[in-house]
Amino acid sequence: MLKIEHEGQIISIVYRNEDWVKGLNFITPDEMFVQVGSWWYDKGKELASHIHNDFDRIASRTQESVYVKRGSMKVILYTEQKKYLQEYTLFEGDLAVFAFGGHGYQILEDDTQVIESKNGPFIDVTTDKTKFD
């Protein structure tokens, strides 16, 4: 697992296909405003049925994660000041979580399939994003 930080803030966490460990593994730190974890259990493991309770949480920022199901994509990271930081490639089975800073994507293969997850609801591009070159 790779954690990319800038000025004390987590910009991105990369969880590669080979980073999986048996059991429940939280990828993000407990204090982060998003929680991402992986499950790896054997046949017969039962997880208790449950309902998530209503509980007010304050989310001051949209936070995103992407999982590459097929293909590959380049991730370009930026600081909060929109300055280039670094880039990396995600391959099939890789996951990336984004907290602070900015990010852009470039699809590297035909038929690349990606699942994106973020807190919602999405309002509109003007409210939710600041685009830049």
* Span 16-53, pLDDT tens digits: 999 999 999 999 998 888 889 999 999 999 999 999 89
Is 104 contained in some domain? yes
Is 93 contained in some domain? yes
In which domain, by residue range, is 78 found?
A: 2-39+64-128
- How far is Cα 71 from Cα 92, in angstroms, rounded to an integer? 6
Is 83 contained in some domain? yes
Q: How many domains does the chain have?
A: 1
pLDDT digits (tens, 9 = 90+) for 70-118: 999 999 999 999 999 999 999 999 999 999 999 999 999 999 999 999 8
pLDDT reading at 120 higher than 90: no
Is 51 contained in some domain? no
Collapsed DSSP state (helix, strand, coil) of residue 121 = coil
Is 111 contained in some domain? yes
| Cβ atoms of 21 and 15 closer than 8 Å | no
Is 22 contained in some domain? yes
Cβ neighbours, 10 Å, residue 114: 15
CB-neighbour burial class of residue 47 (10 A; exposed 0-12, middle 13-18, buried 19+): exposed
